[in-house]
Amino acid sequence: MTTYDTVTTQRLAASNADYAALVLRVTMGIYFLAHVWLKIAVYTPAGTAGYFDSIGLPGFLAYLTIAAELFGGLALIAGVFTRWVSLALVPVLVGAAWFGHGSAGFFFSNPNGGWEFPAFWAVTLIGQALLGDGAYALHKARAR
């Protein structure tokens, strides 16, 4: 392989990684917005706070979780401080896995949903933090 081929391959790999980060970032942002919509429109914030109380967490954490999911989802979609937002959302998902779904077992198909999905989502957020903003991120556009 010539030097030109090596450089071209490296540039293509970097470009692919940027697009992979974009797809992951926007998908997770949409999932967070869908999840927060569930808490606001279906369960209601008061109902979500009641659920938090029922599993032994302070009810006010429900409102903080709603805010984190809403603003975190929007920031991920926009590509603003992606690494930091991803890392900040990891405890939300670890808490969901542990407190919200831990007693239901591993598989999310179990009654009351297991901790499989929130644990996977937490690991995915760590992957996003390692990848960074990716393509079409507002944070990168501002940095230029």
Q: What is the pLDDT along the chain (144 residues), one digit of tens a residue?
A: 566 556 566 566 568 899 999 999 999 999 999 999 999 999 999 999 999 999 999 999 999 999 999 999 999 999 999 999 999 999 999 999 999 999 999 998 888 888 999 999 999 999 999 999 999 999 765 554
At residue 47, the pLDDT reads 98
Residue spans per domain, the chain? 3-143
Q: How far apart are CA 50 and CA 30, in angstroms?
A: 25
Q: Of 25, 39, 29, 11, nearest to 137 (Cα)?
A: 25
Q: How far apart are CA 86 and CA 124, in angstroms?
A: 9
At residue 109, the pLDDT reads 87
Q: Which residue has the tokens 């919200």?
A: 100
The amino acid sitting at 61 is L
Assigned token pair, 64:
């903080």
Q: How far apart are CA 42 and CA 100, in angstroms?
A: 17
At residue 139, the pLDDT reads 77
Q: How far is CA 55 from CA 25, 105, 141, in A?
A: 30, 15, 43
At residue 66, the pLDDT reads 98
Sign of CA dihedral 33, 71, 49, 98: positive
Q: What is the pTM of this model?
A: 0.87
At residue 137, the pLDDT reads 93
Whether the Cβ atoms of residue 17 and residue 127 lie closer than 8 Å to each other: no
Q: Of 142, 139, 120, nearest to 21 (Cα)?
A: 139
